[in-house]
Amino acid sequence: MSEQAPETEAEAPEPDGFAILTAKLKTLPNSPGVYRMLNANGDVLYVGKARNLKNRVTSYTRARSLSMRILRMVQMTRDLEIISTHTEVEALLLEANLIKRLKPRFNIILRDDKSFPYIEVNLDHAYPMLVKHRGKREKDREYFGPFASATAVNHTLTALQRAFPLRSCSDNDFDSRQRPCLQYQIKRCLAPCVGEIDRDAYGEMVQEARDFLSGRSQNLRDELGEKMQRASDTLAFEDAAMYRNRIWALSQIQQKQGVNVEGLEEADVIAAHSAGGQTCVQVFFFRAGQNFGNRAYYPSHAKDDETGEVLAAFIGQFYDDRPAPKQILLSHDVPSEDLIAEALGIRAGHKVHLLRPQRGGKKELVDQAIRNAEEALGRRQAESAAQTRLLQGVAELFGLPAPPNRIEVYDNSHIQGTNAVGGMIVAGPEGMRKAAYRTFNIKSTEITPGDDFGMMREVLTRRFQRLKKDDQAAATGAGEWPNLVIIDGGLGQVGGVEEVFAELGVEGVGLVSIAKGPDRNAGRERFFLPGKPPFDLPERDPVLYYLQRLRDEAHRFAIGTHRNRRSKQIGQSPLDEIPGIGPRRKKALLLKFGSAKQIARAGLADLEKVDGISGQIAQQIYDFFNSGG
């Protein structure tokens, strides 16, 4: 009897995913909504939408009809959460938002959610300018785009500057300038800062630029042609040449775009190519009849997912936080096409059409996008194979148990201890992961200026304290743990980092230090590992070249961050810190005294003589410079 007691008293086995979902069916509604499958730790495994939640979840309880991947997901499921919606369209919108935010492992995921740049016209200024903008939009400003990349915006702005020589300087420079800058001399600016053009004429130029970006390019070219002819008829040959050059510049912009498809005013071309279990999605942007560039995406998905399914998931997540254009040209049919179009239209505030063109110019554009996707995926797979071999070589070289998925490389930058920053770059199987790069402003006041090790100690302490405190962030990918840490220096630096790891209880993270060779010659670096003698590699070793690239990228990133911080500090004026001193008063003060240093030395009576400076403001300025205010 004593031998059978444990069997009768043993706890009942934990129900598997099928039993849990079957039990949940009793309370599920026959209405639209979104469901989330969770594992034992509460992590979301999958997010889905359904027209009928009960029927959809029922399909997961029929094991024989499930693929191996879905079968594994159901077996891992330990809970099910639902959110009911009024319509299936609402469910589709919510599903895309949750997938993008939670990134469940069994969903098709668009990982690159970087915002797109626009061209901004700051209409709230008396003399507006065209500038690149990314991020939140502001009132009283007009935006044109989106553009596929910052490079596409920069190229367009450079070309536009030839046709519309508007100012490109900051408001501070504009307010303080007393004579035209170099841009005026090379005919890239009309110098409104010093009155070389009146406000009405400048405003007419701004309107012409807005017309061009809005798609009214042909009308604009006709108007410029008429002005050129009139100038020529009145023997104003210099003006005629100016109009001729502007027409030529506009023609160059459109020729480089190489697009002239009738009826294609506002559209995105989205084409996919799948091979080897991976998919590349190419997106071409057309706005106001102009090509604003293209970008490649590589959504994460299972090897057996159909291209149409990948494309449908991509579209939902791609337009989750950005308005869809009126037309979306596709390379493949997608499931629930009408539902997706309705959902995108609700979010965008206008009707959206999903089309798969079969002939004509639109079909040629889609075919071109498919070719781009095919070529980009081929290059990526070739690079991925080479990257895999390099990471295997790194693992063998440094005695790691497996090729590293995440390598973190650290470097510092400063000038005699000032504006000190630490930089962290990240690399892995897919190359440099620039979205994961981080900067650290050195905060400690106890570090001696120029103490590189003290700075590195602060950076690594902050980095790994954060990881230790936030395991949940590590699980979602926002705080992933590295397999290998690379630092600049020798054996002393390795020992110092070992102390940091010991203090924080960091284990299982590889550590390597790279010391520059004699005379800082590339190819003669020495490597230092904890508890091992230093060594070097043959000069032509591909792993050495890879490690050099990582070190150089960390150095470039740290120096760039330091320079940006230093430039920002240099560009600041003490006048910017005085309450009540705006651009107009700042300009009046600089015109009177010439520099902030002379303003600081000025007496109260002299300050009061400046136009627009009252006695109270003069006292405020005087107190700021003379009593630390």
Structure confidence at residue 572 (pLDDT)? 58
Q: Are residues 307 and 366 in the same domain?
A: yes
For the ranges 146-160, 338-352, 406-420, which has the lowest average pLDDT? Answer: 406-420
pLDDT of residue 249: 72
Q: Is 242 part of any domain? A: no
pLDDT at 2: 43
| 321-334: pLDDT as tens digits | 888 999 999 999 99
Same domain for 457 and 333?
no
Q: How many whole angstroms separate alpha carbon 132 and alpha carbon 122?
A: 11
Mean pLDDT of 545-549: 89
Whole-number average pLDDT of the chain: 83
Using CA atoms, how far apart are residues 172 and 39, in angstroms rounded to an integer?
55
449 & 365 share domain? no
**pLDDT band, very low/low/confident/very high, at 559 (cuts 50, 70, 90):** confident
Kindly state the helix (H) or strand (E) to which residue 255 belongs, with its residue range.
Answer: helix 237-257
Confidence band of 179 (pLDDT split at 50, 70, 90): confident
Report, as an integer, the average pLDDT of 202-229: 81
Task: Confirm whether 111 is domain-assigned.
Answer: no
pLDDT score at 76? 92
DSSP assigned state of 574: G
607 and 539 both lie in a single domain: no
| Residues 563, 429 share a domain | yes
Which range among 109-123, 336-350, 494-508 shows the weakest confidence by mean pLDDT? 109-123
Most confidently predicted of 327-336, 377-386, 480-489: 327-336
Residue 85 lies in a domain: yes
Q: Among residues 359, 379, 399, which one ends one of the domains?
A: 379
348 and 468 part of one domain: no
- Any domain includes 174: no
CATH number at residue 602: 1.10.150.20
Q: Who's near 41: CB < 8 A, 6+ residues apart?
A: 475
232 located within any domain? no
Q: pLDDT by residue (tens digit) across 414-469?
A: 555 456 788 889 999 888 888 888 888 876 666 666 567 777 888 888 888 888 77
Pair (423, 539) in one structural domain: yes
- Per-residue pLDDT of 591-607, as tens digits, reads 777 667 778 888 888 88
> What is the Cα–Cα distance from 127 to 280, expressed in whole angstroms?
43
Pick the more confident residue, 384 or 267.
267
The first and second tokens of residue 195, run together, are: 């009155």
Can you give the pLDDT at residue 384? Answer: 83
Average pLDDT, stretch 69-91? 93
Shared-domain flag, residues 435 and 553: yes
The three state secondary structure string of 157-224 is: HHHHHHHCCCCCCCHHHHHHCCCCCHHHHCCCCCCHHHCCCCHHHHHHHHHHHHHHHCCCHHHHHHHH
Give the 3-state secondary structure of residue 441: strand
Residue 454 within any structural domain of the chain: yes
In whole angstroms, give the CA distance from residue 342 to residue 332.
Answer: 18
Tell me the pLDDT band of 225, cut-offs 50, 70 and 90: confident
Please give the share of the chain, as a percent, with pLDDT higher than 70: 87
The CATH number assigned to the domain holding 518 equals 3.30.420.340
**Are residue 471 and residue 563 in the same domain, yes or no?**
yes
Query: Is 326 part of any domain?
Result: yes
Q: Which of the two residues, 302 and 627, has the higher pLDDT score?
A: 302
> Alpha carbon of 322 to those of 66, 468, 500, 518: distances in Å?
34, 35, 43, 53
Structural domain tally of the chain? 4
The answer to whether the beta carbons of residues 180 and 191 sit under 8 Å apart is yes
pLDDT tens string 12-69: 455 688 999 999 999 999 999 999 999 988 899 999 999 999 999 999 998 888 888 8
Q: Flag whether pLDDT at 258 surpasses 70.
A: no
* Contact present, 78 and 20 (Cβ < 8 Å): yes
Looking at 77, 102, 127, the residue that finishes a domain is 102
- State the pLDDT confidence band at 475, using cuts at 50, 70 and 90: very low
Q: Is the pLDDT of residue 627 over 70?
A: no
List the structure tokens of 304: 């057996």
Whether 357 and 470 share a structural domain: no
Give the range of the structural domain holding residue 480, as residue numbers without chain letter.
407-569
**Is 610 inside any structural domain?**
yes
Residue 446 or residue 314, greater confidence: 314
Q: How many CA atoms lie within 13 A of 23 on its CB side?
A: 11
pTM: 0.68
473 and 553 fall within a common domain: yes
Question: What average pLDDT does this structure show over 217-234?
Answer: 79
Instruction: Round to whole Å and give the CA distance between 100 and 108.
Output: 10
C-alpha span between 520 and 527 (Å, rounded): 14
Say if residue 354 is in the same domain as residue 414. no
